[in-house]
A and B are shown apart, each in its own frame.
Chain A
Amino acid sequence: MKKIAVASGKGGTGKTTFSVLLSKVLSKKYRVHLIDCDVEEPNCHLFLNFKEEFSEREDITVFTPEIDPEKCDYCGKCVEVCRFKALLLADKTFIKFDELCHSCKGCIFVCPKGAVKEGKRKVGEGFFSEIHKNLFLSFARMTVSQARPTPLISELKSKIDKKADFVIFDSPPGASCPVVEVLKDSDRVFLVTEPTPFGLYDLGIAFEIVKEMNKDVCLVINKSGENDFLIEDFAKKKKLEIVLKIPFSKEFAKKYSDGEIDTDFFPDFENKIFNLDYSH
């Protein structure tokens, strides 16, 4: 099994386009599991034949403390230990700040009375769907008020199709914790960028993180055209391979806006993908 992460410094660079293209093409020969890790705005399913009614759906929950008033003597140790300040004790009433709680269970650990019980708090929903017999998709949607995507990403990662030859992670945009959470388990990273000064800037940030994590990385240029030299210069300096260029095409963009990512559109694309060296 090869685990591939598709990432970019920010959103809207063609990360999803490439993830879907790669998954579709590889699934012609291999068993592929595409995991959309952008739990704030999942969108891969919009470009695949995803039907919610035919998919498995589950609630994703995290630990939340529940205090048993029978056992609690209001010593306040749980409040003291919580470094995220998610618990307060006002007289004999507990106040919980759900969005501050990191589910670290410190409060369970420290309570001398065994009064903190395992509660569950729903943070989102997960979906798993068979697109066709060789292509599987999972993604999750975060409940709006919940501010931390990482638990949802770990949940998605814990349910990888064991028979898959390729697992493709479509990383969340940006360069923070959720991205690191995705990258740390991947064998190879494709950084998708656009040949503009902004694209180059974001690429620089993303590259630093990937390098820091010691990952095998290569580049994909989306909307490739006359300004490709911007990225090519960067690639040369950092000794990176540009493995693919997706040319800008009006027709492709039109199909894209209609929710279609057409693998037949770029004739030599398939060969290139199959000829990529995944053995790293």
Chain B
Amino acid sequence: MKIAVSATGGSLNAQVSSVFARCAYFVIVDSETMKFEIMQNPAEGMMGGAGPEAARQINDRGCRVVITGQVGPNAQRALESFGIEVVTGATGTVKEAVENYLKQK
């Protein structure tokens, strides 16, 4: 299963970004293999509509879970419509956030 984590940098050791739609990067982790890919967030600098756009990009990559600090209402609605699970309140590094999430499963 693919998990997208909003991040301030492009690595597993980067900090989880406190915002979803306007974060700099998404680190997409495969929970089975723990392999990851980096995606620059194309919605970061958008004037409006960043929430739906970021959600769409993540859905297109096949992610089923989003881990982040917080999500705005538009992003929330979009992620829900795609059936993507949203985990908020995450802090620390991307790696820690994913591990915490998998532990709680």
Contact = CB atoms under 8 A, between A and B. Distances in A.
Interface residues of B, number: 16
Interface string B32-54: 00000000000000101111110
Interface in B46-66: 46, 48-53, 55-56, 59
Contacts of A95: 52, 77-78, 81
A99 B74 CA distance: 10
A93 B46 contact: no
Given A97-B74, A100-B74, A86 B49 contact: yes
A228 B56 CA distance: 56
Interface residues of A, number: 11
Nearest to B43: A85
Contacts, number: 38
A90 B56 CA distance: 9
A88 B78 contact: yes
- Secondary structure of the B side of the interface? helix
A181 B49 CA distance: 23
B48 A88 contact: no
A84 interface: yes
Interface of B: 46, 48-53, 55-56, 59, 74, 77-78, 81-83
Given A88-B55, A88-B78, A100-B48, 20 more contacts: A79-B56, A84-B48, A84-B49, A85-B46, A85-B49, A85-B50, A85-B56, A86-B49, A86-B52, A88-B56, A88-B81, A90-B81, A90-B83, A95-B78, A95-B81, A97-B49, A97-B51, A97-B77, A99-B74, A100-B74
